[in-house]
Amino acid sequence: MRDSLAEEELIPTWVDGRLAPMGKMAVHRAGLRHKAVSVFVTDGNRVLIQRRALSKYHTPGLWANTCCTHPRWDEDPADCAVRRLREELGITRLFPAFADRVEYRADVGGGLTEHEVVDIFVAEVTPAMTLQPNADEVAEVAWVDLYDLSADTARNPAKYTPWLRIYMAEHMGRIFGAAVR
């Protein structure tokens, strides 16, 4: 697996109202609006979350959704979701469905800002599926109850990435739909 900073990735970024390929780190340093993908793998009301590897360039060691990334320039968001499930967690033959698109802006530390327009995907599975987390990306994984996760992100925000806290506080119904009663 390649390290996310081994090469400067070009990600779709809005410049003067149009999408253009820009280097990921430059985008984050300037806080520019850019495309992103987030995936939630669920089993009923349970969701698979990951704790980010301590070597990550921002928010290391914090809990996040199943996986997330930036699509490469000219990469379809659905293809990106499938790619990232494979790269981060070793999940193959899973094709998550588009759930919604949300936008957020958050300081992620180290002088970096995420200003993302995120295509969110959800896939329903069983927790018995095989996971092979990439240690360069993921420190650990856990299956948690969706409602417990929502409550804990509010009670203990320092444990979670800014985007997961935003998803749970502002977009839970839009992301999980019928699962949220």
Q: Is 67 a catalytic residue?
A: no
Residue 181: exposure state from Cβ atoms within 10 A (0-12, 13-18, ≥19):
exposed
Residue 1 inside a domain? The answer is: no
Using an 8 Å Cβ cutoff, are 162 and 65 in contact?
Answer: no
**Strand 46-52 and strand 63-64: pairing?**
antiparallel
Give yes or no: 68 in active site: yes
The H-or-E segment that residue 169 falls in is: helix 162-170
4 occurs within a structural domain: no
pLDDT of residue 166: 98
Is 39 inside a domain boundary? yes
The pLDDT value given to residue 128: 78
Which one is catalytic: 9, 67, 68, 137? Answer: 68
For residue 34, give both structure tokens. 């850019």
pLDDT in tens, the chain (181 residues): 334 443 468 999 999 999 999 999 999 999 999 999 999 999 999 999 999 999 999 999 999 999 999 999 999 999 999 999 999 999 998 899 999 999 999 999 999 999 999 999 999 997 778 899 999 999 999 999 999 999 999 999 999 999 999 999 999 999 998 555 5
> Using an 8 Å Cβ cutoff, are 138 and 50 in contact?
yes
Examine residue 5 and state whether it is found in any structural domain, yes or no: no
**Rounded to two decimals, what is the model's pTM?**
0.92
* Residue 110 falls inside a structural domain: yes
Classify residue 152: in a domain, yes or no: yes
- Give, for 15, the enclosing helix (H) or strand (E): strand 10-15
In 3D, which of 41, 107, 28 has the Cα closest to residue 70?
28
CATH number of domain containing 85: 3.90.79.10
H or E element, residue 118? strand 112-124
Structurally, the chain folds into a number of domains equal to 1
Residue 150 domain-assigned (yes or no): yes
Domain that holds residue 57: 10-175
- Of the candidates 9, 88, 114, 116, the residue annotated as catalytic is 116
Q: How many CB atoms lie within 10 A of CB 156?
A: 11
Which pLDDT score is estimated for 8? 66
Is 180 a domain residue? no
